[in-house]
């Protein structure tokens, strides 16, 4: 059993927690639901847990290898459980997901304002001559008069007087 444990140990020493994004890619590759993929990873981790917990090894090997590995396994199981709960939670009408926020932030700011020769009128102060200009690289609008920067969500919130969730929903629709 000790020989077998060492052989398996060498193979498993490269154990690294799998990130949720990698699990989602695997789900797409194998054409299974994301919940099934997370469940499969959790089942695998519980199998690893049982293996290391029941390993017939000396106290030194247990302290150096088994114990830290078990701690890493349980941390990943807890994180996957949290991710699964977050993905399956029911949403209220005002609730917005992180994906919606990211999509709203990536919305091009050029389409939100009227532009004349690369400049636009500012809504944040009285402006007769256009002073806003766009930084396409970072997708933000800058007002040199106010010394402020606005992303797509900030523009919709400040210009239209909307709350954060309302602005995100408007940009996503």
Identify the pLDDT of residue 36. 79
d(C-alpha 74, C-alpha 72), whole Å: 6
Give me the mean pLDDT over the 53-57 stretch.
80
Q: Give the residue numbers spanning the domain of 38.
A: 2-88
Residues 108 and 84 in one domain: no
Final residue belonging to a domain, choices 88, 113, 131: 88
Buried b (16+ CB within 10 A) or exposed e, 22-60: ebeeebeeeeeebeebbeebbeebeebeebbeebebeee
- Alpha carbon 47 to its chain centroid, in Å, reads 27
Identify the pLDDT of residue 10. 40
Residues 57 and 112 in one domain: no
What total of structural domains would you count in the chain?
Answer: 2
**How far, in Å, are 155, 164, 166 from residue 161 at the CA level?**
9, 10, 10
**Domain at 109, CATH number:** 3.90.580.10
Query: Could you read off the pLDDT of 122-168 as tens digits, one per residue?
Result: 888 887 888 888 888 888 999 888 888 899 999 999 888 888 888 99
pLDDT cut 70: percent of the chain above it: 82
Give me the mean pLDDT over the 6-29 stretch.
59
HEC string for 4-22: HHHHHHHHHCCCCCCCHHH
Residues 79 and 147 in one domain: no
Final residue belonging to a domain, choices 88, 118, 149: 88
Helix (H, G, I), strand (E, B) or coil at 53: helix
Q: Does 18 score more than 60 pLDDT? A: no
Final residue belonging to a domain, choices 64, 88, 112: 88
Identify the pLDDT of residue 9. 43
Q: Write down the pTM of the prediction.
A: 0.48
Residue 129 lies in a domain: yes
**Residue 150 near residue 158 (C-beta atoms within 8 A):** yes
């Amino acid at each position: 059993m000790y020989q077998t444990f060492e052989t398996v140990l060498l193979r498993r020493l490269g154990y690294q927690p799998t990130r949720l994004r990698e699990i989602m890619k695997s789900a797409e590759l194998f054409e299974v639901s994301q919940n099934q993929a997370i469940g499969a990873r959790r089942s695998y981790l519980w199998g690893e847990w049982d293996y290391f917990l029941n390993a017939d090894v000396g106290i030194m090997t247990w302290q150096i290898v088994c114990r830290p590995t078990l701690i890493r396994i349980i941390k990943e199981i807890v994180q996957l459980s949290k991710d699964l709960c977050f993905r399956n939670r029911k949403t209220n009408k005002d609730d917005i997901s992180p994906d919606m926020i990211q999509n709203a932030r990536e919305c091009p700011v050029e389409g939100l304002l009227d532009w004349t020769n690369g400049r636009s009128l500012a809504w944040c102060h009285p402006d007769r001559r256009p002073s806003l200009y766009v930084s396409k690289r970072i997708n933000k609008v800058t007002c040199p008069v106010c010394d402020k920067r606005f992303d797509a969500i900030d523009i919709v919130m400040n210009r239209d007087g909307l709350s954060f969730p309302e602005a995100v929903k408007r940009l996503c629709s």
